[in-house]
Structure 1
Amino acid sequence: MSSSIRVRLELIVWLLIAGVFYGLTFRFSDTTGVTFEWGPAAWPRAALIIMAVVAVANYLTHRPVGAAASERQGGARSGQEIVNLIGLFAIPLVYIWLLPRIGFYIATLIFLPVYMRYLGERRWKLIAGVTLLLFALVNLVFTHIFYAGLPTGNWPGFYEASSWFVTLIR
């Protein structure tokens, strides 16, 4: 698969994902029992807009230009390239699917290192540091600044582990 096709395909898939989930936010109740001024759909919509902007920025950064755009890199599509592209989207979608089931705390501590490893990072100290830093930052922002609880999961065992962790960090 040529580089330009891969980059365009990534952009299209990320924009489709953002668009579908943005559309789903209109099902949120914006009027009943709202404690947040902009309603419950504001934060998901903001995150999805950021995701779309980052997808476009990634496309603009990585798109081949000039002679490189017209050059084909090996005509035939490599099976490994297709598998890599599927994994690029499948891993975050699995994370999103698992989030309400096993909770933010466990899912994130699994997802971040797995995804960084998948993207090519091999230094375990860096992976562990970035994972812990992002995990702590998200916890700080949501629990201490926004006073919003993160999903604890509903599968047996995961809920208890997440609840224990919430008690530990308070």
Structure 2
Amino acid sequence: VKRLNAGQWFEVVFWAAFGVLAFGLSFQFDREISMYKFGAAGWPRTVIAVIVLASVGQFISDLRQRQKEDDKAPVEASYFGKLAAEHGSEFFVRMGITLALPLSYAGLLNLTGYYFTTPVFLAAYLYMTGITRIKPLIIVPAVIWGVLTVLFTRFLYVGLPVGYWPGFYDFSNWLVVLIRY
């Protein structure tokens, strides 16, 4: 069994602390909802539990993974070095955009709403991962968006952000009414 490095221990402690804190904070908005038997904190607690279980699984996987002691460089360092040598600065620009895309999505979500922003984000992210054919760029985000939208809007009655910019707000509210009734 290999020894865990400081980064792996930090990751485990961070996610465990995050889970405990988030679970504790979920009691501040836990109230009964007549149409949803698990209450207002039901689905957030489920997401928190999945995050904690995933971090525990990653921790166990890290503990069980065997590695030779005489490794000189981590796999990640040689991997990124190889990609940078093959692709030049384009690789780092693409990586930067890929990392910045979720931040821009989060920033636009309250302005333009989930119902408009999410399919655009999913298509952009697919494009950044190398998918360039138009059919998958339309079908895959539409299916993911459709399943998530119906699940959260129709069955879980979760109020997803509708945005407050004119047009986006109206479109989102029209779609919510259409899906729920």
The equivalent residue for 1:164 is 174
Which stretch shifts more, 65-74 or 129-138?
Answer: 65-74
The equivalent residue for 2:45 is 42
* 5+ long unaligned stretches in structure 1: 1-10
Which stretch shifts more, 113-122 or 84-93?
Answer: 84-93
What is the identity percentage for the equivalent residue pairs of Structure 1 and Structure 2? 28
Q: CA deviation at 1:157?
A: 2.4
Secondary structure of the 1:154 match is: coil
Correspondence list, 1:85-100, <5 A: 85-100=95-110
Query: Is structure 2 residue 27 aligned with structure 1 residue 30?
Result: yes
Distance between the aligned counterparts of 1:129 and 1:152, measured in 2?
Answer: 23
* 5+ long unaligned stretches in structure 2: 1-6, 33-37
Assess, with a 3 A threshold, how the Cα gap between structure 1 residues 32 and 91 changes in structure 2: closer, same or farther. Answer: closer
Distance between the aligned counterparts of 1:132 and 1:78, measured in 2?
Answer: 34
Q: CA deviation at 1:166?
A: 1.7
Cα offsets for 1:62-98 (capped at 9, x unmatched): xxx9999485528869322221221121101211221
Secondary structure of the 1:73 match is: helix
Distance between the aligned counterparts of 1:120 and 1:138, measured in 2?
Answer: 23
Secondary structure of the 2:117 match is: helix
- 8 Å Cα contact 1:21-1:48 kept in structure 2: no
Distance between the aligned counterparts of 1:100 and 1:79, measured in 2?
Answer: 33
Which of structures 1 and 2 has the bigger CA Rg? Answer: 2
Quick one: which amino acid aligns to residue 177 of structure 2? T
Count of equivalent residues? 149
The equivalent residue for 1:3 is none
The normalised TM-score by structure 2 is 0.61
Correspondence list, 1:1-170, <5 A: 25=22, 28=25, 30-35=27-32, 36=38, 39=41, 41-46=44-49, 48-49=51-52, 69=75, 73=82, 78-169=88-179, 170=181
Which stretch shifts more, 113-122 or 145-154?
Answer: 145-154
The normalised TM-score by structure 1 is 0.64
Distance between the aligned counterparts of 1:45 and 1:74, measured in 2?
Answer: 35
Higher relative contact order (CA 8 A, sep 6+): 1
Q: CA deviation at 1:109?
A: 1.9
- 8 Å Cα contact 2:109-2:163 kept in structure 1: yes
* Structural RMSD (CA): 4.1
Q: CA deviation at 1:159?
A: 0.9
